[in-house]
Amino acid sequence: MQSSSITTSWNIDKILDDLNESGFALIDHLYSSEYISALVQECSSHLEQFRAAGVQNGVVSHIRSDHILWIDGQLPVAQQHIQFLQDLSQILNQAFYLGIKEVEAHFACYQAGEFYALHRDNAQKKNDRMISTVFYLHENWQEEFGGQLRLQDKNEHWHIIEPLPNRLAIFQSDLLHEVLLSNHQRLSITAWLRSSDSIWK
Ligand code: OGA
Ligand code: MN
């Protein structure tokens, strides 16, 4: 947690308590406004390279209609967010013995009318995703834009989470969740903290 782009207005003990008790946690006001501006710029300037997330190997799924771009070394600003998540992974490993070894991440863009239906990121522990994170990077958001993250916590209580700018949602990858229909362009980075560095087991 050394990076100068990170603000210090949040408390790691509260995050760990929330994850322990309900399986999810929120961090608001994570980064400086300078970093957010650079991130929006990097995301927006690559929008034409985003691909339909619901299409894989030519097979179309109707569960989601957003577009994504996987983050690699060509996206240095987003890489700083991945570095932050790697540091966070060390803390989560110490607290919960999760064995996280790798972070994989993509930008996501939901245009007006787009959604991601109810799903789990790691149903029946089929992959190595331990923790899911979503960082919201659009510069302003209003309730009437929709696009909320609706999530069932580990005690089976439902939560509606507004995709507020500069907010990071952190949750166990086995929890049920969805992105409600968005009425406005919604920009984010989804990242998974994985327990193995092999994508295919
Ligand atoms: C996902 C996802 C939630 C969100 O990308 O798997 O569930 O709020 N995202 O964007
Ligand atoms: Mn998901």
Task: Please state, for a pLDDT cut of 70, what percent of the chain lies above it.
Answer: 94
For residue 10, the model assigns a pLDDT of 78
What pLDDT does residue 44 have? 97
pLDDT at position 197? 58
Q: Is the pLDDT of residue 4 over 60?
A: no
The two tokens of residue 162 are 């507004």
Count the neighbouring beta carbons within 10 Å of the beta carbon of residue 101: 16
- Of ligand 1's listed atoms, the one at least distance from the Cα of 188 is 10
Q: What pLDDT is stored for residue 2 in this prediction?
A: 47
Alpha-carbon distance of 48 to 45, in angstroms, equals 8
pLDDT tier at 192 (50, 70, 90 boundaries)?
Answer: very high
CA 117 to ligand 2 centroid distance, Å: 9
Separation of CA 101 and ligand 1 centre (Å): 21
Q: What pLDDT does residue 7 have? A: 66
**Distance, CA 134 to ligand 2 centroid (Å)?**
9
Specify the residue with its C-alpha closest to ligand 1, atom 7. Answer: 178
Residue-wise pLDDT for 92-130, tens only, equals: 999 999 999 999 999 999 999 999 999 999 977 778 999
Q: Which residue has the tokens 């439902």?
A: 158
State mean pLDDT over 59-75: 94
Q: Choose one of 179, 181, 193 to mutate for the ligand 1 pocket test, by most ligand atoms within 8 angstroms of C-beta.
A: 179
- Residue 106's pLDDT is 98
CA dihedral of residues 18, 22, 24, 27 (deg, nearest 10) = -30
Question: Is pLDDT at 134 greater than 50 in this prediction?
Answer: yes
Can you give the length of the chain in residues? 201
Protein residues with CB under 6 Å of any ligand 1 atom:
108, 116, 121, 134, 149, 163, 177, 179, 188, 190
Beta carbons within 8 Å of 27's beta carbon, 6+ residues apart: 10, 15, 167, 168, 170
Pocket test for ligand 1, best of 69, 118, 176, 177 (most atoms within 8 A of CB): 177
Ligand nearest to the CA of 173: 2
Closest ligand 1 atom to 148 CA = 8
- What's the predicted TM-score (pTM) here? 0.94
The pLDDT of residue 201: 41
How confident is residue 200, by pLDDT bands cut at 50, 70 and 90? very low
pLDDT above 80: residue 40: yes
The pLDDT tens digits for 154-184 are: 999 999 999 999 999 999 999 999 999 999 9
pLDDT confidence of 35, banded at 50, 70, 90?
A: very high
Domains for the chain: give ranges and CATH numbers. Answer: 16-176+189-194 (2.60.120.620)
Whose atoms come closest to the Cα of 180: which ligand? 1
Closest residue CA from atom 8 of ligand 1? 149
Q: Which residue pairs, CB below 8 angstroms and at least 24 apart, start in 92-100?
A: 92/16, 92/19, 92/131, 92/193, 95/16, 95/19, 95/20, 96/19, 96/20, 98/130, 98/131, 98/193, 98/195, 99/130, 99/195, 100/130, 100/131, 100/193, 100/194, 100/195
Q: Which ligand is nearest to the CA of 108?
A: 1
